[in-house]
Chains A and B, each alone.
Chain A
Amino acid sequence: MANLAYILQESFDGFRRARISSLISTMTITFLLIIIGIFALVSTNVDHIVTALNARFDIQAFIDNTLDDSQITGLRQQLSQIEGIRQISFYSKEQAAREFQKEFGEDLFDILGENPLPSSFNVVLRQEYRTPDLIESVAKGISDLRGIDEVVYNNQALKILGKYAQMAKVINSAILIFVSFGSLLVISNTVRLIIIAKRSIITTMQLVGATRGFIQSPFIIEGLVQGSAGGILASVFLYLGSQILVIEVPGLIHTSLVIYIFVLSLGIFFGILGSLFAIKRFL
């Protein structure tokens, strides 16, 4: 018990005696965790952005101009039986003309004396069908129906998006690993410089019979506290930063508690391991 009291007292005194160097290592951990946190946020949000963009994906099926209302109703019936379709909305020729006028500022009827725009179905696919291959097969099923003139969708964009999202995730994860590893080295080196300053003290402690554990425990507790402080500061920064971003661009990024827990745990891990690495060479 006397030892535990000593270790806690000594750790606390360590901060008091070396405010500047404690502050430096805490800030080092904070900055590195912010960088790691940003990469972690990007990693989790790549998925989110892809999902958000995919959700807007739809297929437009243009209907043969010669079909009457009852035939269109029948066509809709057939359409709804195709696997993978979540929602079908009907756009009449008149709605299409209104959209056209909104877009071009001209009334087609005035120019042409008739409305050449076809009516169409707007088809939204179920989430699990929003992959390039499945989209193609659903689109084929739709265009095969009698009464559908043409099917339009932007599969290419989806393919590119999917490809780059995958690549972004891999690159981002690689950077995350490198930055984490680099952080451990930087933190360990910072602690090492602080310990070098205490080298003669450590030697004297050994000469008066202090055991390894007795000497290193306060350093590890210091590392733990600095790591936790860095983790908390970095989490606060990331939270505030993402809140500001969300105000600027609503829905751009989603943060979750998991990110903050990750950053905090990493801080504690870095703090302890950094101290252990650094002190190992002197004991």
Chain B
Amino acid sequence: MVELNNVRHAFPTGDGIRHITFSISPGEFVFLVGPSGAGKSTVLRLIYMDLLPDEGHIVVSEFNSLFMKRRDIPQMRRKLGIVFQDFRLFPDRDVFENVAFVLKVVGRRTKEIKRRVLRAVADVGLSHKARKMPDELSGGEQQRVAIARAIVNEPYLLLADEPTGNLDPTTAAGIMDVLERINARGTSILMATHNVDMVNRYRGRKLHIMNGELV
């Protein structure tokens, strides 16, 4: 269960979000839709606790934002998979190592890492490019690597912040297919996007955000 309860967060500039209340059930696909600057990324950052609420609280699995300590944050993030518009791959290592990093962080054995990484890379259709470096891949392929990295540790919730924002419509559709497949296997997904037309083509709950509030 992921739950946001009357959450408010204000930036020093005056922007921010307020009165945000929603929850995500296991296996749900939720879209957070709104124009640029509406507060979509802020909501996501609050969920992965890069920001903490000024008011209200957030629950992710057994973690509650009210009782979070600094040293708990890495533990909490291991329950999540995060995908960004700009991919954020490690430019200094290949596809396999990018995905494997997440499992090394949690201290898995080498043999298990290999097995899981190869499966995750296959899930996103990139088995033949496992030894390529990020800069040898197209944008769509890089985003698939980012998704493989996000799902390899079987997260509780996959957070995707404009995952198709940098991609052409055909490639974006390919990424959406991958996300739907992952969701069909039981992983909850919260995807932030400004693209209303695209969202309408997919099943899933839609939350609309405008000027920092759900509408």
* Chain A residues within CB distance 8 Å of chain B: 2-3, 5-6, 13, 17, 200-201, 203-212, 214
Contacts and interface: CB of A to CB of B under 8 A. Distances in A.
Contacts of B76: 209
Interface in B16-30: none
A2 B105 contact: no
Contacts of A209: 74-78, 80, 102, 105-106
Nearest to A207: B82
Contacts of B80: 209
B110 A2 contact: yes
Contacts of A212: 71, 74
A3 B91 contact: no
Interface in B141-186: 149
A207 B101 contact: no
Contacts of A201: 90-92
Counting contact residues on chain B (CB < 8 A from A), the size range is 20 to 34
A5 B111 CA distance: 13
Given A208-B77, A208-B101, A209-B102, A200 B108 contact: no
A207 B77 contact: yes
A6 B104 contact: yes
A2, A6, A205, A208 — which one has the most chain B CB atoms within 10 A of its CB?
Answer: A208
B75, B107, B108 — which one has the most chain A CB atoms within 10 A of its CB?
Answer: B107
Contacts of B104: 2-3, 6
A207 B48 contact: yes
Contacts of B82: 207-208
A64 to B, nearest CB: 90
Given A204-B89, A209-B80, A212-B74, 9 more contacts: A2-B109, A2-B110, A3-B107, A201-B90, A203-B88, A207-B48, A208-B82, A209-B74, A210-B74
A15 to B, nearest CB: 12
Contacts of A204: 88-90
Nearest to B102: A208
Contacts of A13: 93
Interface string B68-90: 00010011111010100000111
8 contacts: A2-B109, A3-B104, A208-B78, A208-B82, A208-B101, A209-B77, A209-B105, A212-B71
A200 B104 CA distance: 19
A227 B50 CA distance: 35
By DSSP majority rule, is chain A's interface helix, strand, loop, or mixed? Answer: helix
Contacts of A206: 74, 77
Contacts of B108: 2
B88 A17 contact: no
User: Top 6 A-B pairs ranked by shortest CB distance?
Assistant: A209-B78, A209-B77, A209-B74, A211-B74, A210-B105, A2-B107
Nearest to A6: B104
Interface string B10-48: 000000000000000000000000000000000000001
A205 B88 contact: no
A207 B50 CA distance: 8
Contacts of B90: 201, 204
A205 B101 contact: yes
A210 B104 CA distance: 9
A2 B107 CA distance: 6
Nearest to A4: B107
A209 B82 CA distance: 10
Contacts of B93: 13
A52 to B, nearest CB: 56
A232 B82 CA distance: 44
B115 to A, nearest CB: 14
A201 B93 CA distance: 11
Nearest to B106: A209
B50, B71, B74, B93 — which one has the most chain A CB atoms within 10 A of its CB?
Answer: B74
Contacts of A205: 101, 105
A241 to B, nearest CB: 38
A6 B113 CA distance: 12
